[in-house]
């Protein structure tokens, strides 16, 4: 009576083994991606990326180990204690088991504790400011672009202009570009001219908010960029209508190229900090249309702010 099962016991075992083996080459072929936990960029992009990447990947490894043990236990219970043909009535009903409850409450506490200790350790290391940075840059977010002042060299990039996204692929031209020398200690001092923004260079794996008017939180990013190249940056805090067009680039170049870029800015007359004429608007003053109630407004200095829709 009844239909014959599609696969007998040993066939099923073989199928499971074959499926397991088939995933091995698939995993090996994307090992570079896997080893960095599918994060963008490279492990060595900045002095902080190895810390961030390792924390991320190791957390996943720990999670998978816990997951495999848990899944294994679940499978074992499902199979070992399945209802047999000759079973009659209910299995023994157990209302509580104190040692077991202590066990499964303490394990998650230990897991969270371990994650906390490692996260805290890496976060402190990442947030630590260089005592003597080689390069200090004042980064200003504004609706909807970026300004960069090279503090020690006393020059600035041109006032940043909002990107205009057309719907076509490609990098919008005239993006404000921050130059960083490779292998040098860089301190970015993040500030905002108006509302809350967030500085995010995707491949640096770090982002940090910029709040108007207060600096009690840590407004610095301290990194040593270790790979030359061009990186895309964006605002990561919804800051108004054209938030998505608040884009910039970072170019990590050799010291020589960096020096010549600085000389270039000097020759073009981009000396001194950009935006010294920005004056803080009193909290009580009415906000101009489209701006947050309180912030810093451009006055006197002509900072291009493009607010018109295309």
Q: Give whichever of 151 and 236 is closer to Cu ion, judged by the CB atom.
A: 236
Q: Where are the beta strands (DSSP E) in the chain?
A: 135-142, 145-150, 155-156, 177-181, 186-192, 197-201, 206-210, 220-223, 229-235, 247-253, 279-280, 296-297
Whether the CA torsion 166, 171, 172, 178 is positive or negative: it is: positive
Show the tokens assigned to 70.
């848990």
Question: How near is the Cβ of 197 to Cu ion at its closest, in Å?
Answer: 3
From first CA to last CA, the distance across the chain in angstroms is 74
**Short-list 274, 160, 276, 139, CA closest to 220:** 139
| Least distance to Cu ion, CB of residue 194, Å | 9
Closer CB to Cu ion, 53 or 246, in the complex: 246
Minimum separation from the CB atom of position 11 to Cu ion (A): 59
Minimum distance from residue 144 beta carbon to Cu ion (Å): 6
The nearest distance, CB 138 to Cu ion, in angstroms, is 16
Asked whether 142 and 194 are in contact (CB, 8 A), the reply is yes
Question: Minimum distance from CB of 237 to Cu ion (Å)?
Answer: 5
HEC secondary structure over 191-211: EECCCCEEEEEHHHCEEEEEC
Nearer to Cu ion, 133 or 219 (CB): 219
- 8 A C-beta contact, residue 166 and residue 217: no
144 vs 204 by CB, closer to Cu ion: 144
Residue number with CB closer to Cu ion (144 or 179) = 144
- List residues near Cu ion by CB under 5 A: 197, 235, 239, 246
Question: In this complex, which beta carbon is closest to Cu ion, that of residue 197 or of residue 208?
Answer: 197
């Amino acid at each position: 009576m009844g239909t014959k099962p599609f696969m007998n016991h040993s066939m099923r075992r073989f199928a499971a083994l074959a499926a397991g083996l088939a995933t091995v080459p698939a995993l090996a072929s994307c090992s570079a991606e896997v080893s960095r936990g599918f994060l963008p960029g490279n492990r060595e992009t900045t002095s902080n990326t190895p810390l961030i990447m390792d924390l991320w990947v190791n957390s996943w490894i720990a999670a998978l180990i816990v997951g495999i043990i848990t899944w294994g236990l679940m499978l074992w219970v499902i199979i070992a204690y399945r209802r047999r043909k000759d079973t009659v009535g209910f299995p023994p009903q157990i209302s509580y088991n104190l040692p077991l409850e202590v066990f499964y409450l303490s394990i998650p506490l230990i897991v969270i504790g371990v994650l906390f200790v490692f996260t805290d350790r890496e976060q402190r290391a990442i947030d630590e400011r260089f005592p003597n940075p080689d390069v200090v840059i004042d980064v200003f977010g504004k609706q909807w672009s970026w300004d960069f002042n090279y503090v020690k060299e006393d020059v600035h990039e041109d006032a940043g202009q909002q990107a205009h996204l057309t719907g076509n692929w490609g990098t919008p031209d005239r993006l404000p570009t921050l130059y960083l020398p490779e292998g040098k200690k860089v301190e970015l001092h993040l500030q905002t001219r108006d509302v809350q923004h967030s500085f995010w260079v995707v491949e640096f794996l770090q982002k940090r908010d910029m709040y108007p008017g207060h600096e009690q939180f840590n407004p610095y990013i301290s990194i040593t960029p270790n790979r030359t190249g061009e990186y895309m940056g964006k605002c990561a805090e919804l800051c108004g209508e054209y938030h998505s067009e608040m884009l910039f680039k970072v170019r990590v170049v050799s010291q020589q190229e960096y020096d010549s870029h600085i000389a270039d800015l000097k020759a073009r007359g981009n000396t001194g900090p950009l935006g010294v004429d920005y004056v803080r608007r009193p909290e009580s003053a009415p906000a101009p249309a489209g701006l947050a109630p309180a912030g810093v407004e451009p006055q006197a200095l002509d900072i291009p702010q493009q607010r018109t829709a295309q």
